Amino acid sequence: MDLKSSIGGNREVLNDAQSDTITPDVINQINEIKLASSYGTSNNNESLQFVDNRVAQAKRRVHRALILFDQMLMALKSGQLKQLELLDSERKRTQMQLEGLNQELDKITVFLEQQPDSVSTQNKLAALDAEEARLKLEQSANRQTTNLLTRQSAKYQERLDQNAHYLSRNKARRQVLIDHMRALKEEDNLLSAIDQSAREANALQYLREKIETEDQVVRSLQTKVQAKLEDRHKQADELDRRLHAISEQRNGLTDKANHERSEVSEQQERQQKLTTQRRQVSVRLQQIQRVIDRRQRELTQYDEKNLMPAFIPDDRRRYFLYAGTLSPNDDEVFDGLKDLAGLFRGVIPNLNILTSTVADAEDFHPVLSVPDIGHIAHQDLYNDLALNFKGRQLTGTSYALNNRLFSEGWTQSGYGMVDTWINNDLKITVSHREDGSVKQVNYFDHNTLIKIDVMNTNNNVIATQYVEDGNNVRYEEFYRLDRTHAVMMTKEYRDNRLQLIGLRDDKNALANAFKSDVELLLWWFRRRAATANDALVVDGQSPLFQAMLGDKEAEYQIIPTFYRLEANDDLVDVVNRYQNRIHDVIALDDLSFETLLTGITHQIGLQLLNS
């Protein structure tokens, strides 16, 4: 077999393969063969070798195409008709590529026929003949298989058409059955509704019969109850008539008793007034007698230059008695204060008690009502400041301490006059008064005191003190006791020494500033006792007395009190030196009276308390 016939056989095999092996790679190989043929006769051996290699590669690709074709046939056997359509389209495309390849092979055949014969060429042609025979056998087998699959595909298509026709008829029958089933279901629902209505009607009939029976029972009971109610109404009317008669009798007796009680009360009031008047007259007579006795003693003991007039309050003056930080609970001090107020018995409306205590002014009212004297007026420094300085308003005016502590997770561990509250490392101790109101609240951090709240009897905070290192006072705030609960005054400390007192306006700005409590008191005294017709009673042995004497802006008179004043005390010289400010002196005991009587060198009003 010559080379041309061998290549022709290969062309037939490639035509029957009908696969996708004629790819751009195969076209490139053909172009390479054409390039090799252009080298001429001198390179004949190399060209044949190159052709052998390309033919071998073409055989391998044809073999792979046959395998792929077998897979397509298997897919066709499985009933995948769509694959057959794809195969037909691919066959057409491959046919077009084969035509181009045949043309190239014809050119290569012509080229090879023009080359001289050689042993290797003959051997290769023999091999190509054998390969051609084998490929023809495979081609024949593949054609038979393709024909068989084509016939089977036609049978499968016929069966599919029959099945489609059968399914179409079944679909119509199925729709008819569905319509019948739907109609039957609607009939079942209707029957169920009818049965339910029948059961409900039976139940309703049963309930109606039961209700009628119960109505009969209720009507019977109502008749019995109505009869009993009528009997009760009759009995109640009878009781009302009796009670009305008894009430009229009681009202008559009550009016009579009230009239008798009123007469007795009027008699008691008249008797009490007479007793009070007798007591006042008796006390006044005793006081006058004591003055007379003292004057007699003075006349017998001293010459005319040593005679001292007694202190007699002038109802044209206003008197202010400064009691310092007197507390409403200091009963013993109040007793002495009431004795001192007794000197002003005839001018009580002109007497005012002055205090500088952080407390409610109302707390002083009960203790300043003195028997046989009346009620003494009271003015406090902090309450007076609250009336004149708005202060900086705080948020929150109530101080429901227990509720706040409970809501914040505090635990109460102590009860009684002093309660203890614990919250981790924080501790609060609450001190109470006898009436149960909170007096003072101490705050601790790791057992170190950090703050103190002072409370009034209404459990409102009236002052707060901030502490450093447990014992160093750093800052104090004083609050108004109205609804604003504003900070009206502050005190600043350094090393427990007062540095500044500030009176605050509503913007927390300083309205007035003082360096000490004494300076603040002097300013306040000038506001209260503003004229020379005012007199201020003060402890003559206190530093405040010396500061008052040095106040050049003050116009009021000073009435000092002395206790256990000895003859060598410098205060006697002070009284002699400030004759323009001191017109009267009060001795609280006999020693002070004798010392002043012998030491004062000018005429002055001298009074011994309880003389």
Closest-CA residue to 316 (of 532, 538, 527, 525):
532
The pTM of the full predicted model, rounded to 2 decimals, is 0.48
Is it the case that residue 490 has pLDDT exceeding 50?
Answer: yes
Is it the case that residue 601 has pLDDT exceeding 80?
Answer: yes
In terms of average pLDDT, the best of 179-183, 192-196, 388-392, 506-510 is 192-196
What's the mean per-residue pLDDT of the chain? 76
Residue matched to tokens 């010396």 = 546
Is it the case that residue 449 has pLDDT exceeding 90?
Answer: yes
Q: How far is CA 574 from the centre of its chain?
A: 64
Residue 327: count of CB within 10 angstroms of its CB: 17
What the block records as the tokens of 242 is 């009796």
pLDDT digits (tens, 9 = 90+) for 48-68: 566 566 666 666 665 666 676
Is it the case that residue 5 has pLDDT exceeding 50?
Answer: no
- pLDDT value for 80: 53
- pLDDT value for 313: 85
Is it the case that residue 198 has pLDDT exceeding 50?
Answer: yes
Q: What percent of the chain has pLDDT over 90?
A: 16
In terms of average pLDDT, the best of 246-260, 493-507, 548-562 is 548-562
> What value, to the nearest 5°, has the Cα angle with vertex 443 and ends 439 and 447?
130
Cβ proximity of 495 and 510 under 8 Å: no
As a three-state string, the secondary structure of 417-450 is CEEEEEECCEEEEEEECCCCCEEEEEEEECCEEE
Assign 400 a pLDDT band (cuts: 50, 70, 90). Answer: low
Cβ proximity of 600 and 308 under 8 Å: yes
Is it the case that residue 445 has pLDDT exceeding 80?
Answer: yes
Q: What is the rounded distance in angstroms from the CA atom of residue 502 to the CA atom of residue 475?
A: 11
In terms of average pLDDT, the best of 103-117, 244-258, 386-400, 475-489 is 475-489
- pLDDT value for 71: 67
The amino acid that residue 65 corresponds to is A
Q: What is the rounded distance in angstroms from the CA atom of residue 231 to the CA atom of residue 225?
A: 10
Q: With 0-12 CB in 10 A as exposed, 13-18 as middle and 19+ as buried, what is 149?
A: middle
More confident residue, 2 or 361: 361
pLDDT digits (tens, 9 = 90+) for 6-47: 444 444 434 444 444 445 555 555 555 555 545 444 455 555
Q: Which of 222-231, 361-370, 541-550 comes out lowest in average pLDDT?
A: 361-370
Assign 222 a pLDDT band (cuts: 50, 70, 90). Answer: confident
Is it the case that residue 572 has pLDDT exceeding 50?
Answer: yes
Q: What is the rounded distance in angstroms from the CA atom of residue 106 to the CA atom of residue 4?
A: 8
Q: What is the rounded distance in angstroms from the CA atom of residue 70 to the CA atom of residue 86?
A: 15
- pLDDT value for 81: 57
Instruction: Catalogue all structural domains in the chain, each as residue range(s) with its CATH number.
Output: 3-170 (no CATH), 312-389+518-608 (3.40.50.2000), 392-515 (3.90.930)
What the block records as the tokens of 287 is 């006081």
| Parallel/antiparallel/unpaired status of strands 426-432 and 438-445 | antiparallel
pLDDT digits (tens, 9 = 90+) for 280-334: 777 767 767 776 776 666 555 554 445 567 788 888 889 998 987 766 666 666 6
More confident residue, 184 or 602: 602
- pLDDT value for 21: 44
The whole-number average pLDDT for the span 70-98 is: 63
pLDDT digits (tens, 9 = 90+) for 352-361: 888 887 766 6
